[in-house]
Amino acid sequence: MSVVNLFRAAAALPDAWSSRPLGEVGTACVKVLRMDELPVEEEAHGTAEVLLVLDGRLELSVEDAEVTVGPGEMYLVKAGARHAVRPGSRGTLVIVEVPEGPGGDGPLATDGLQGAGPSAPSPADHALRGGTGRSA
């Protein structure tokens, strides 16, 4: 596989919130998309999703909790969790769809790697959060 410029790949998409698969890593699918200011209706998936904000910010409602994910931060949405994008999300987002393992445990460990962001529904539902720089 050659080098992929994620910003150019997102800019080339025909519409905001339409994703483009970039490749696979094991059983995970890596996608990129461009966010605009508009909300996206609530949904749930059969796979976990890692949401990685490259620039801008992602405003989420996850299982009735509000979560803000800033540049350089990521959030793990567990398989089956209800989530929606709130107004104000903008920028470039990478999504890694990660199939859940046996017993509902995803392949990502979250112990000890959470930052100082807003709390999520439970530690198991909260993603890896690095850094303290948040967009307001």
Tell me what pLDDT residue 110 has.
46
Mean pLDDT of the chain: 79
pLDDT band of residue 2 (cuts 50, 70, 90) is confident
Q: What is the mean pLDDT of residues 37-45?
A: 93
Q: What amino acid occupies position 117?
A: G
Q: End-to-end CA distance of the chain, in Å?
A: 37
pLDDT band of residue 1 (cuts 50, 70, 90) is low
pLDDT tens by residue, 57-78: 999 999 989 999 999 999 999 9
pLDDT at 3 over 70: yes
Q: What amino acid occupies position 74?
A: M
- Classify 57 as helix, strand or coil: strand
pLDDT band of residue 99 (cuts 50, 70, 90) is confident
Tell me what pLDDT residue 101 has.
64
- Classify 109 as helix, strand or coil: coil
pTM for this one? 0.73
Tell me what pLDDT residue 126 has.
31
Q: Which of 15, 38, 136, 21 is nearest to 85 (CA)?
A: 38
More confident residue, 76 or 126: 76
